[in-house]
Amino acid sequence: MSTFSWVLLGIGLFIFGQFMMMRPSVRERTLMQLREAARHMGLQPRLVAPPAWLRQESRQLVACYTLIVPGGGWVDRAETGAWAEVRRGDLVERIAAVAATARVVAGVCTGTMLLAHAGVIAGRRAATHHSARRELADLGATVVDDRVVDDGDLITSGGVTSGIDLALWLLEREVSAHMADQVAARMEYRRTRPAMTS
């Protein structure tokens, strides 16, 4: 990925956190506007956002460099979001297939629960929303109480705002700490890096 792509990822994940808080009808309209704006700039976007869209586009998604799975709807057992997707099962199977080919797999908030149910996290260090930590541990993860947990090819974060730190950490890993710091400064965001283990 180019440096420009990583900067867009950092800013995009920040926006994505806000995006997930919108009503579904507003999210759909916003996603269409983002795709149109990207096309206008000459970009070929691969914006696969909430689970319903991943399911629709998954036939075309064979492999990816970085798979980022968002959460939402887990704690309140909502009819849409991570909890509902685990109960349906088809998206979990697709996540498992795509994760097997990805160079880096990331879970934001309770997106980590989707990864756990997809068999990606057992025996690995991981973070999720504080209300789902016990369930994550029950699925075999070593739960870490940090905003971002880097376990090599698996990076996870706590609640939705931790996704900003996750995006900036990906930018630092793939491009440079300087670039990640610049993006954080432009956003006026005080970032948190993962605690490293030896």
Report the catalytic residues: 109
- How distant is the alpha carbon of residue 133 from its chain centre? 17
How are beta strands 66-69 and 104-107 bridged, if at all? parallel
For helices 3-19 and 177-186, angle between their N-to-C axes, nearest 10 degrees: 40
C-alpha dihedral, 54 to 57 to 59 to 61, nearest 10°: -80
3-class state of residue 148 by DSSP: strand
In angstroms, rounded to a whole number, what is the distance separating the alpha carbons of residues 186 and 136? 34
Give the number of C-alpha atoms closer than 13 A to the C-alpha of residue 74, restricted to the C-beta side: 28
What letters, b where the CB count within 10 A reaches 16 and e where it falls short, cover 48-65? bbbbbebeeebeeeeebe
Diameter over CA atoms, the chain? 46
In sequence order, the 6+-apart residues with CB closer than 8 A to the CB of 161 are 17
